[in-house]
Structure formats: C-alpha cells, structure tokens
C-alpha cells in the first residue's frame, strides 16, 4: 500500500510547470484517496481533468479511484487515448500495469496481455507483472480455444449454457430411468421370469434396450465434460492464485 500511495502522490508532484493547472485538484484527490474516500477523490480528479484533459497523472489517479469502487469500465475509459502521453512520463510502467490489471478485472484478456507486455518491456524484472501477464495470456488462449472473443460476458454465457446442458442431460437420464422402471413394473412377473430363464438357457447376456444405450451414452458424455471442466478450473485457479493486489 505504501508503494501505491507513493506512486500516486509523486505523479502529482512531478508535473512540469507548464502543466500544473490541475495540481490543486490532484493534491486534494490524493489526500482523500489516502483516507479511502474513493468517490470524493474521483470528483477531485475529474475537476482536474476538466482543466487539463490530457493530464496523465489525472487520468491515472482517476482510474485508481474508479478501480477501488469496482467501476472497471470507468477505469478502462480513463486509460483511453493516453498511452503515448504516459510513455513520456517516469511512471509509464505503472500506467501499463494498472491498465492491464483493470482489463483483467473486466476479463478483457487481449487488452490485459497487450498492456502487461508493455509493462514488462519497461520493467522486465517485475514479477507481479510477469505473473499477471502469464495469467491473462492463458485465459486469452482458453477463450480463443472455446471460440470466444467478446470478453468475460461470452465466457459467462458459455458456462451458463454448459450448466443448462448438464441439467438437461440429468433430467433425460432420470426420465429414462423412470420409463425403464415403469416398463419393468408393468411387465407380468411370469413374463419377466420367462425372459430371464430364456436368456440363461441360451447363454446370452440380456440385450440392452435403446433407453439403456441412450442413458449410458449420456452418462459417458457428462463424465467427459465434467472432467474437462475440472481440469480447466484447476488450471485457472493455479494461475489466478499468483495475482497480487498492486498499484491500486
């Protein structure tokens, strides 16, 4: 947390004299940010940006305040169209790290990968950035393999569809079992004994009914899907555990 606030405050103090029109608002916002008053700090940063719309420190700090309020869309918007300006400041690496972190929160894996790559080009030894980069890269790969391309909403929809498919398969299995049990109950006992004796005399296993075959196929498919989902979740959880709450 100390490193976070140091970067945040320094961004307000390191402005050249020609770009200090928003300095008062930045300082006021930083004081409120340090006290955890994110919404009040946001207002100060926005006032500063009204005076200097191209202010990199103002945008950086505004994104920080919005991120703290879990307004990830707003945080990403604060980063828009300022990358080139940010690269000319001493805090370009922190800019790209925070941008990548906000993109991860939105499950915008492509933007996260691109931003964290830029951060690593500037600070190759930043292990936090490297771990987040690997995580975002792996999630982007998973999304592409699943045919996604629209960020976290597509992934959530796919997961919901898979859950619905599994529920439907379970309902079909239960219905098939009920039909089979009902059929056996309705069949005369003498006929059941006769069929069983005939099968034993002929030395053959009882033939599988279409309902049993369909039920077995669905059970195999459900098991395969369950195994695949378990592997993906374990892999994602392992990578996600490396994430660190940094720079915010």
* Residue 123 is assigned to a structural domain of this protein: yes
Tell me, what DSSP letter sits at residue 150? S
For residue 111, what pLDDT band results from cuts at 50, 70 and 90? very high
Tokens of 16: 């050249």
In a domain, 219, yes or no: no
CA atoms within a 13 Å half-sphere pointing along the CA-CB vector of 74 = 14
Q: What is the mean pLDDT of residues 2-30?
A: 57
Residue 230: predicted pLDDT = 72
More confident: 15 or 202: 202
Residue with the larger pLDDT of the pair 7 and 73: 73
The verdict on residue 97 lying in a domain is yes
Using an 8 Å Cβ cutoff, are 96 and 126 in contact? no
How many structural domains comprise the chain? 1
The pLDDT confidence band at residue 135, using thresholds 50, 70 and 90, is very high
- Low-confidence winner among 43-57, 103-117, 150-164 (lowest mean pLDDT): 150-164
Low-confidence winner among 127-136, 152-161, 221-230 (lowest mean pLDDT)? 152-161
Q: Quick check: is 132 in a domain?
A: yes
Please give the model's pTM, rounded to 2 decimal places. Answer: 0.59
Burial class (CB in 10 A: 0-12, 13-18, 19+), 106: middle
Angle made by CA atoms 43, 80, 73, in degrees to the nearest 5: 65
Q: Evaluate if residue 139 carries a pLDDT over 70.
A: yes
Q: In this predicted structure, which of 57-66, 154-163, 228-237 has the lowest mean pLDDT? A: 154-163
Average pLDDT, the chain: 76
User: What is the Cα–Cα distance from 88 to 160, expressed in whole angstroms?
Assistant: 44
Range of the domain at 140: 2-145
Asked whether residue 150 is domain-assigned, the answer is no
Share of the chain residues as helix, strand and coil, in percent rounded to the nearest 5: 80, 0, 20
Query: Does residue 112 carry a pLDDT above 80?
Result: yes
| Residue of 10 and 128 predicted with greater confidence | 128
Which pLDDT score, from 0 to 100, does residue 13 have? 41
- The CATH number of residue 51's host domain is 1.25.40.10
Percent of the residues in the chain that have a pLDDT greater than 90, as a whole number: 46
pLDDT of residue 177 exceeding 70, the answer is no
214, pLDDT greater than 80: no
Quick: pLDDT tens for 75-105.
Answer: 999 999 999 999 999 999 999 999 999 999 9
The model's confidence at residue 22, banded by pLDDT at 50, 70 and 90, is: low
Q: Is 52 part of a structural domain of the chain?
A: yes
65 lies in some domain = yes
Q: What does the DSSP assignment read for 29-89?
A: HHHHHHTT-HHHHHHHHHHHHHH-TT-HHHHHHHHHHHHHTT-HHHHHHHHTT-HHHHHTS
Q: How far apart are CA 14 and CA 2, in angstroms?
A: 18
Report if residue 231 sits inside a domain: no
């Amino acid at each position: 947390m100390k490193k976070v606030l140091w970067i945040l405050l320094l961004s307000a103090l390191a402005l050249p004299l020609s770009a200090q029109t928003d300095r008062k608002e930045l300082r006021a916002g930083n004081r409120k940010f340090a006290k955890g008053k994110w919404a009040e700090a946001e207002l100060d940063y926005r006032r500063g940006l009204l005076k200097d719309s191209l202010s990199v420190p103002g945008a950086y700090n505004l994104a920080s305040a919005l991120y703290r309020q879990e307004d990830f869309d707003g945080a990403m918007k604060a980063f828009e169209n300022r990358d080139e300006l940010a690269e000319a400041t001493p805090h370009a690496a922190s800019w790209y790290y925070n941008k990548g972190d906000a993109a991860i929160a939105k499950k915008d894996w492509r933007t996260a990968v691109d931003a964290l790559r830029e951060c690593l080009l500037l600070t190759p030894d930043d292990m936090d950035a490297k771990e987040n980069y690997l995580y975002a890269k792996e999630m982007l790969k998973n999304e592409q393999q699943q045919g996604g391309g629209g960020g976290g909403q597509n992934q959530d929809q796919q997961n919901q569809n898979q859950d619905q498919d599994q529920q439907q398969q379970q309902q079909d299995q239960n219905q098939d079992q009920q039909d089979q049990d009902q059929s056996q109950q309705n069949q005369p006992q003498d006929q059941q004994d006769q069929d069983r004796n005939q099968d034993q005399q002929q030395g053959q296993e009882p033939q599988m009914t279409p309902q049993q075959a369909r039920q077995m196929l669905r059970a195999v498919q459900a098991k395969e899907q369950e195994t695949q989902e378990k592997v993906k979740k374990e892999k994602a959880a392992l990578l996600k555990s490396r994430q660190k709450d940094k720079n915010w």
